[in-house]
């Protein structure tokens, strides 16, 4: 329990303290410190859960599924904080795009965002989950408009409105769920507790659950970036500060998907004996596939580098939703692994992109040229990152995509060609833009910047490691999560 409190509530302390800390330089270090402390708590929590099983107390519930996301969240939170400290300091002092007050807001809300993410992951109460996910929007919306340009404000407004409307549907779904629970549970029981609901899920009224799940899927799906409610995502990613893009892509989307999967577990259990036992999975598959294909096509002809990679995030979220929708141990295992490697890879890419935009002093792809000549570390980082995200063999994404394709081959063979084709098209779209940025002649007057490639290196090394051999402890861990979600073990 103490580890849980350390992991979740350190960021909350960070929100308050960083809001009061006036010096931007010190705030960056403090931000890093809080994130590190939170990671330490998460690691302790993970050890505890792996040794002694589910932790279920005081309205929190930590099992194998969410503890791995907690570790991932705090880890990416820490590495991004490492990157963000010099990056934002540079934006503040050299580019002068952010005022001192803006910096305070930034650091405070960075921790606020982490807090809402961790709260959403660890809480057992579905109402609190909703409040936390909505809170994540509120925490990040002012960060998206941090640069105060018209485009940034527009992006933030769109983000705010679209996510606000979307998430409202999720609340309606939650109400419907609570309603279904009240008809089964005795008076006084907590009908919003996920554990309680999961225990009685087979008795929940199927028709009500269908309505609830559709609303929950639309609501949290907006945050996942599922088509057709994805249009906020590229805007918010491209106009906000780069560290924000890294954590939005790496963490927020994962947490929203986590919420959807939790709801799917309930719905599956409730619908098991109805006429349409796999309705939730099919819906998730359909939206996932639609999202994947739409994003794949959108990857072509992008002009803004951050928009390019945010479409790539949408593509991968589509793949994961598809994987969870297919169901079964193999596909679920693949989707879980994909969540992990995508978060690591995508945040490393955004970190590199941050450096690249500092070198080229623009986000326009056609103006970013010759990175590898100007600053080999950044150029190689981008190249390897893109290779990883496109699914090249030694990297972990290859593994997860391969597993997903195998699962699809088993259950829905005729969808496999579509997925492969999509991956090829995505690959082409990514490399067409990346190749000239990395190679090509550097424009005159382009100089290296101070770049901290440590986060990139760590992330890519991890992704590579996961691609070559998944450590036994992690495999066991993911297997436990798979067992939790599908009821069957893969290994």
Partner 1 sequence: MNLGALSLLDQAVLVLAAMALFSAFALLAQSRLLAAIHVFAWQGALVAAVAALTGAASGDVNLYISAAITFVLKVLLIPWMLHRLVRRLALERQSDPLPYPALTLLAGAAIVVFADWVAAPVAQFEHSATRNVIAISLAIVLLGMLTMVVRRQALAQVLGFMAIENGLFLAAVASTHGMPLVVELGVAFDVLVAMVLFGVFFLQIKDSIDTLDIDRLSQLSASVEQDEATEAQR
Q: Choose one: 84-92, 164-172, 256-264, 392-400; the region binding partner 1 (CB under 8 A).
A: 164-172
Contacts of 143 (CB under 8 A, 6+ apart): 105, 106, 109, 110, 113, 240, 241, 244
- CA-to-CA dists, residue 404 to 94, 110, 319, 339, 471, angstroms: 45, 33, 9, 12, 19
Element (H or E) spanning 444, and its range? none
| 21 lies in the binding site for partner 1 (CB under 8 A) | no
Q: How far is the CB of 85 from partner 1 (least distance, A)?
A: 23
Q: According to CB under 8 A, which one of 23, 58, 101, 148 is a site residue for partner 1?
A: 148
| 252 lies in the binding site for partner 1 (CB under 8 A) | no
| 130 lies in the binding site for partner 1 (CB under 8 A) | yes
Q: According to CB under 8 A, which one of 134, 268, 315, 401 is a site residue for partner 1?
A: 134
| 356 lies in the binding site for partner 1 (CB under 8 A) | no
| 93 lies in the binding site for partner 1 (CB under 8 A) | no
Phi and psi at residue 123, in whole multiples of 5°? -70, 150
**What is the number of other CB atoms lying within 10 angstroms of the CB of residue 115?**
25
Answer yes or no: are the C-beta atoms of 308 and 365 closer than 8 Å.
Answer: yes
Q: How far is the CB of 161 from partner 1 (least distance, A)?
A: 6
C-alpha 15 chain-centroid distance? 21
Q: According to CB under 8 A, which one of 153, 411, 415, 457 is a site residue for partner 1?
A: 153
Q: How far is the CB of 274 from partner 1 (least distance, A)?
A: 12
Cα dihedral sign, 46-50-54-57:
negative
Cα separation, 199 vs 183, whole angstroms: 14
Closer to partner 1 by CB, 187 or 472: give it. Answer: 187
Q: According to CB under 8 A, which one of 23, 101, 364, 488 is a site residue for partner 1?
A: 364
Q: How far is the CB of 235 from partner 1 (least distance, A)?
A: 5
| 155 lies in the binding site for partner 1 (CB under 8 A) | yes
Closer to partner 1 by CB, 20 or 187: give it. Answer: 187
Cα separation, 169 vs 282, whole angstroms: 20
Report 383-442 residues binding partner 1 (CB under 8 A).
none
Peptide bond into 228 cis (omega under 30): yes
Q: Choose one: 15-23, 139-147, 274-282, 345-353; the region binding partner 1 (CB under 8 A).
A: 139-147
Site string for partner 1, 198-227 (x = CB under 8 A): -------x-xx-xx----------------
Answer yes or no: are the C-beta atoms of 372 and 379 closer than 8 Å.
Answer: yes
Cα separation, 444 vs 436, whole angstroms: 16
Q: According to CB under 8 A, which one of 361, 443, 468, 473 is a site residue for partner 1?
A: 361
Site string for partner 1, 281-310 (x = CB under 8 A): ---------------------xxx--x---
Both tokens assigned to 155: 């992006």
| 168 lies in the binding site for partner 1 (CB under 8 A) | yes
Q: How far is the CB of 311 from partner 1 (least distance, A)?
A: 12
Answer yes or no: are the C-beta atoms of 467 and 396 closer than 8 Å.
Answer: yes
Cα dihedral sign, 314-317-321-322:
positive
Closer to partner 1 by CB, 177 or 423: give it. Answer: 177
In whole angstroms, how large is the CA radius of gyration of the chain?
A: 21
Only one residue has tokens 């099919």, namely: 282
Residues that bind partner 1 (CB under 8 A): 125, 127-128, 130-131, 134-135, 138, 141-142, 145, 147-151, 153-158, 160-161, 164-165, 168-169, 171-172, 174-176, 178-180, 182-183, 190-192, 205, 207-208, 210-211, 235, 239, 302-304, 307, 361-364
């Amino acid at each position: 329990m103490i580890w849980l409190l350390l992991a979740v509530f350190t960021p909350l302390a960070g929100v308050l303290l960083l809001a009061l800390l006036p010096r931007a330089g010190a705030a960056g270090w403090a931000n890093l410190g809080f994130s590190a402390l939170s990671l330490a708590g998460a690691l302790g929590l993970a050890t505890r859960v792996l040794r002694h099983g589910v932790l279920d107390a005081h309205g929190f519930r930590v099992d194998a599924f969410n503890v791995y996301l907690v570790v991932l969240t705090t880890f990416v939170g820490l590495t991004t904080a490492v990157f963000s400290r010099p990056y934002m300091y540079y934006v503040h002092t050299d580019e002068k795009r952010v005022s001192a007050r803006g910096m305070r807001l930034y650091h405070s809300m960075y921790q606020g965002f982490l807090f809402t993410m961790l709260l959403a992951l660890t809480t057992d109460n579905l109402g609190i989950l909703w409040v936390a996910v909505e809170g994540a929007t509120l925490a990040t919306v002012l960060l998206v408009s941090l640069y105060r340009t018209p485009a940034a404000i527009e992006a933030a407004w769109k983000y705010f409105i679209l996510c606000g409307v979307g998430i409202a549907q999720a609340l309606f779904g939650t109400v419907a769920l609570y309603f279904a629970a009240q008809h089964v549970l005795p008076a006084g029981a907590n009908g919003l507790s996920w554990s309680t609901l999961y225990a009685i899920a087979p008795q929940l009224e199927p028709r009500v659950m269908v309505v609830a799940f559709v609303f929950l899927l639309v609501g949290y799906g907006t945050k996942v970036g599922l088509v057709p409610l994805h249009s906020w995502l590229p805007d918010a990613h491209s106009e906000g500060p780069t560290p924000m893009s890294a954590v939005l892509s790496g963490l927020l989307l994962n947490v929203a998907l986590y919420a959807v999967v939790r709801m799917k577990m309930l719905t599956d259990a409730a619908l098991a004996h109805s006429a349409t036992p796999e309705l939730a999975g099919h819906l998730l598959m359909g939206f996932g596939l639609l999202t994947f294909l739409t994003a794949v096509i959108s990857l072509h002809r992008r002009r803004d580098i951050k928009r390019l990679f945010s479409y790539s995030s949408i593509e991968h979220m589509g793949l994961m939703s598809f994987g969870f929708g297919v169901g079964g141990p193999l596909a679920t295992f693949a989707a879980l692994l994909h969540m992990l490697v995508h978060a690591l890879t995508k945040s490393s890419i955004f970190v590199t992109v941050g450096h690249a935009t500092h070198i080229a002093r623009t986000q326009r792809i056609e103006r970013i040229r010759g990175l590898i000549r100007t600053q080999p570390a950044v150029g190689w980082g981008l190249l390897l990152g893109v290779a990883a995200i496109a699914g090249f063999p030694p990297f972990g994404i290859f593994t997860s995509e391969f597993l997903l394709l195998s699962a699809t081959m088993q259950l829905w063979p005729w969808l496999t060609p579509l997925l492969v084709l999509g991956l090829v098209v995505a690959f082409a779209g990514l490399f067409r833009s990346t190749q000239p940025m990395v190679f090509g002649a550097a424009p005159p007057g382009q100089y290296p910047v101070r770049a901290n490639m440590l986060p990139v290196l760590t992330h890519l090394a991890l992704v590579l490691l996961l691609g070559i051999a998944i450590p036994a402890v992690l495999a066991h861990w993911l297997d436990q999560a798979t067992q939790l979600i599908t009821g069957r073990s893969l290994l």
